[in-house]
Structure 1
Amino acid sequence: MSSLRARFALSAYRLGGIAIYPLISPYLTFRAAKGKEDRARRMERFGYASANRPQGPLVWIHAASVGETTAVIPLIREIRRRDIHVLLTTGTTTSAKLAYTRLGDEAIHQYVPLDLKPAIGRFLEYWQPDCAIVAESEIWPVTILELRQRHIPQILVNARMSDRSFARWQRRPSLSEALFGSLALVVAQSDLDAERFRDLGALQVVKSGNLKVDTDAPPYDAAVFARYMKEIGDRKTWAAISTFDGEEDAAAVVHKMLKERSSQLTIIVPRHPERCDEIEAKLVAQGLKVARRTRDDVLTPDVDIFLGDTIGEMGLYLRMTEVAFVGRSLFEHKGGQNPLEPAMLGCAILSGAHVQNFRDAYQRLARGGSARLVRDTEMLAKGVYYLLTNDDVRSKTIEAGFAAVHEMRGALATTIKGLEPYINPLTVKARLLPKTAAQA
């Protein structure tokens, strides 16, 4: 009976998608007007390719947004080293820009098709991937069913399962078993994630750790960095990164509290740069002077807030400070953002208490003393002030972060080992092709 309910639910989902298919185009046009879709490449969302499929084996890797894209870059390079072509799909314009900047022609980029049967069918018919690899937590029912129908192995890597998602899937056991049971392999970030995927029906599960630990440090422009550091001079700095609505207000409160005690510059890097006009207006209304990266503003001594409103420059912003608050964590139900980049780049880390989406990473960092959780804005201000004014404590906190990151490395090797049954045959096939065909 439960399997019958699952089939009914999946059929209803597919039919619903077909029914709303004619309405999707106006919706995407609306999103494009807001900068959330690439107008020139909108048809890729319907499964229409804008690039040629190369000859030979091809692995499809999907990474939803910036964080997932960053995490899979080393995996993409490892697969390419084996002479296998990689098609990378992402869902946001920011992740598309990151892919272009960091990968160039190492991978073919397309926007991910909508999880609707006509779009997915068209996409798979054209690209004919030999294997599908999805990063972290993207579960799309139609895509899973279409891949299964075509006998294309589908693998979840760097997989994580949040508390809320796990609770939702537990309420639908027959549906979760039908979907997760279709996965050839799940490579989970932590023991808890692995246990949850098994409970939901995944048959083959291994634990790898977090792929992002094995990524290179985010790049930066050394000349721009040198210029900003000269402009900052002897002022102290701290950064609030990956912030969501409300956290920029909290950062402004912290800045004003600290400004009474010493001269300092606050760097704010919102998770969604398109919000920066609104954020700047709020800050200016509070009497704060704002400089923006996109305007190439000079960081004069009277600048209060440096607004990092660009994509792919987190390496620059984090190198400008040694204290970083990681956002999406100060208010309930948000779940946190990944703290590994600031740890890798030598920042003492502060975060709100709501970090359940990255529980394992925070536990490991906190164990060594490199990450501290705060309850509210007042506690955040005290934490920032304490770290900025205690050089020895800040230095030890940063060193603890380096040690924790070093201890956590190895996820890429574990992931590749799990993928070997699926990619080794493709490597052999690729290397048996004539040289010109393999390079096409």
Structure 2
Amino acid sequence: MRLVYVLLAYLLVPVLAGITLWRGFRDRSYWRNFGERFGFGAGSPAQSIWIHAVSVGEVQASAPLVAALRRRYPDMPLVVTTGTPTGAARARALFGEGVLVRYVPYDLPGSVRRFFDRVRPRIAIVLETELWPNLYRECGRRRVPLVLASARVSQRSVDRYRWLGSVIRELFAREVFVGAQGEQDAERFRQLGAAAERTHVTGNVKFDFSVPPETVEKGRALRELHAPGRPVWIAGSTHGGEEELVLAAHRTVQRSHPTALLLLAPRHPQRFDDVAALLEREQVRFVRRSSGTACMAQTEVLLIDTLGELLDFYAAADVAYVGGSLVPIGGHNLLEPAALGIPVLTGPHNFNGPDVARLLIGRGAAEIVSDADALGNRVAQLLADGAARARIGALGRAAVEENRGAVEKLLRLIDPLLAA
């Protein structure tokens, strides 16, 4: 079965590489450090702690863990890998010169070996769920302990992975430790073959996220620049097919709040121009954040077509809708606006983080809206009720605060492995 997987990988990687190179014609960042995807590129001067965070959300979530490891092991190099240009850019902005940031290699035997030769990991820490047979096999071959941190897996994924049979079982046959987000996730990893004695519930590192002290002030300044005296709501991390729903919701909001400003933040930079074209077709009066122009009184939408500012714009808003949830993407990070004390709205599709969604909804800190009409009506209600916003925001802050501690639990798992 493994031979079949390797053959399929050799067939698929040229397609994936071609797609990456093609995207580079629109966004040159896809071409930068392309050789790293085949295991080439910069390496570590000594044995390193390697952390993999596949994209922007995981990179952001890894920040408290990276900070804790840097404090705990100041003499050991840290390497952070990601799979996307936006993830790499965010990692460099967060971690600076003290951390080597590079792409994870394609899951080809040769690419993986070259990567290990250069990075020289003493331990591998993979955030959430990235199951790559050749990469895991190389960890086992080189006796590198591998920790799945803040690990989660849906029942649908378990059923799909089972089709790989012995390939998946072999993943967990070596020194793989699971730090699951919840007991359900832990049980599903055991179903896939993870050893019971190496599977633990450590929680979700996203709860250990701390709002930088300057964020609230940045949000205040952004609001004063773009929307003084106006009600403001934000749709963060939206996807294709979702912006149309958000714009329909904004038209509903404008019926009762005609001066309301929508902050619209598409998830992926390669879609910024497409969303701008949509706004033009819909004859929406909008300003692009990248233009450096402040919104006028008649501006209806501020298109956030920049990177690394979403948290600041959450802090500028009265109400937050978190995208990827009115369309079946699975939702994004609900904890960022909740930690800022902003009422959170989300669509029904939250399978990327069901435990977080259940917790916040159960605490009254977040609400599900089923469609554009429901979104628009609820935003309008909240914009009209400052007391409700304050109450819901306080519940969100409390829920985040009470569930911190995942990083410390992970460190208790990691420390003995580095000491061995």
TM class by shorter chain equals: over 0.9
The 1:15–1:315 alpha-carbon spacing in structure 2 relative to 1, beyond 3 Å, is same
Partner of 1:436: none
Matched ranges for 1:176-325 at <5 A: 176-203=168-195, 204-217=198-211, 220=215, 222=217, 225-262=220-257, 263-325=259-321
Rate the CA distance shift 1:19–1:335 in 2: closer, same or farther, 3 A: closer
SS in 1 for 2:4: helix
Compute the displacement of 1:18 (Å): 3.9
Label 1:402 to 1:24 Cα distance change in 2 as closer, same or farther (>3 A).
closer
Query: 59, 65, 71: which is aligned to 1:69?
Result: 59
* Structure 1 stretch displaced more, 383-392 or 214-223: 214-223
1:93 deviates by 0.7
Change over 3 Å in CA distance of 1:282–1:152 after alignment to 2: same
Q: Do the aligned partners of residues 319 and 224 (structure 1) sit closer, same or farther apart at CA in structure 2, a change above 3 Å counting?
A: closer
Q: Which residues of structure 1 form unaligned runs of 5+?
A: 1-8, 426-440
Deviations 1:370-396 (A, max 9, x none): 100011111111111111111111111
Show the counterpart of 2:358. 363
C-alpha change, 1:184 and 1:289, in structure 2 (3 Å) is same
For 2:85, the equivalent position in structure 1 comes to 93
Q: Taking structure 1 as reference, are residues 381 and 28 closer, same or farther at Cα in structure 2, changes over 3 Å only?
A: closer
Give the Cα separation in 2 of the matches to 1:36 and 1:60: 26
Q: Displacement of 1:163 after TM fit?
A: 3.6
Name the counterpart of 2:331.
336
Deviation at 1:97, TM superposition (A): 0.9
Looking at structure 2, the residues matched to 90 and 38 of structure 1 have their Cα atoms a distance apart, in angstroms, of 13
> For residues 78 and 373 of structure 1, what CA distance do their matches in structure 2 show?
34
Q: Greater shift after overlay, 162-171 or 23-32?
A: 23-32
Distance 2:218 2:339 in 1: 21
Distance verdict in 2 for CA 1:346–1:44, change over 3 Å: same
Kindly indicate whether the alpha-carbon contact (under 8 Å) linking 1:330 and 1:352 is maintained by their aligned counterparts in 2: yes
Q: CA deviation at 1:32?
A: 2.1
What is the distance in 2 between the residues matched to 1:11 and 1:397? Answer: 53
Query: Does 17-26 or 267-276 show the bigger shift?
Result: 17-26
Is the 8 Å Cα contact of residues 329 and 355 (structure 1) preserved in structure 2? yes
CA distance in 2, matches of 1:158, 1:231: 37
Question: 2:115 corresponds to which letter in structure 1?
Answer: F
Q: Secondary structure at the match of 2:256?
A: coil
Separation in structure 1 between the aligned mates of residue 219 and residue 380 of structure 2, nearest angstrom: 27
In the TM superposition, what whole-angstrom CA distance separates every residue of 1:327-364 from its partner, at most 9, and x where no partner exists? 11113x32211201110112101111111221110111
Q: Which residue of structure 2 lines up, in the alignment, with residue 432 of structure 1? A: none
Of 95, 98, 109, 1:103 maps to 95
Question: Cα distance 1:72–1:223, how it changes in 2: closer, same or farther (>3 A)?
Answer: closer
Aligned partner of 2:145 among 133, 138, 153: 153
Number of corresponding residues: 414
The amino acid of 1:121's aligned partner reads: R
Equivalent residue number for residue 416 of structure 1 = 411
2:378 corresponds in structure 1 to: 383
In structure 2, give the amino acid aligned to 1:54: P
In 2, the alpha carbon distance for the partners of 1:245 and 1:225 equals 29
Residues 287 and 188 of structure 1: CA distance in aligned 2, closer, same or farther (over 3 Å): same
Deviations 1:148-195 (A, max 9, x none): 122211111011113431221234443322223335201011111111
1:205 positional shift: 0.8
| Structure 1 pair 243–21 and aligned structure 2 pair: CA distance change class (3 A) | closer
